Amino acid sequence: MKNILVLCTGNSCRSQIAEGYLRHFAKDEARIYSAGVETHGVNPRAIAIMKEDGLDISHHTSNNVEEYFDIDFDYVITVCDNAKERCPYFPTKAQKFHHNFPDPAKATGTEEEIMAEFRAVREMIKAYSEQFIQAHINGHTLIIDSDDTDNHT
């Protein structure tokens, strides 16, 4: 079974959303973890927009990447530039992937405008997560279309 780590700055929004969708699409075919180079707690708006799409991430915890140094990851996905730059060295065979998603926690405006940004980012992460699982877990030869993908062994 493959181990996938999603890494972000604070493990509060983007990585939590990605963890939820990767688990959903992988079903029992992979173990999914998320962490941050810092921990900020799970953002309540992230929980709310995932619930709108039928996924409950309210039980997720905000974890520091150092908690997972003993796990042999197959894939490490950074979902923000800050995490990619600060990503610690993993002494594993993990393939690294990167996609810089906008940070919905930085959205400003009315509550409706902020939630609209959270939903837009959710949809980006959902599409990426589904394609990632199809390409790397389900064995399909689907190329993830992203200028930000950094895949090397």
Q: What is the pLDDT of residues 62-87, one digit of tens each?
A: 999 989 988 999 999 999 877 666 55
Which domains are present in the chain?
2-136 (3.40.50.2300)
More confident residue, 38 or 89: 38
Which strands form 75-78's sheet, in the order they lie side by side?
30-36, 2-8, 75-78, 95-98
Q: For residue 37, what pLDDT band results from cuts at 50, 70 and 90? A: confident
**Catalytic status, residue 13:** no
Catalytic residue among 5, 37, 80, 83: 80
Instruction: Return the pLDDT at 9.
Output: 87
Instruction: Return the pLDDT at 139.
Output: 74
Catalytic residue among 71, 87, 142, 144: 87
pLDDT in tens, 126-142: 999 999 999 999 875 44
Q: For residue 153, what pLDDT band results from cuts at 50, 70 and 90? A: very low
Distance set, CA 40 to CA 2, 10, 61, 92, 153 (Å): 27, 5, 10, 26, 30
- The mean pLDDT value of the chain amounts to 87
Catalytic residue among 7, 8, 13, 76: 8
Residue 24 burial (CB count, 10 A): 17
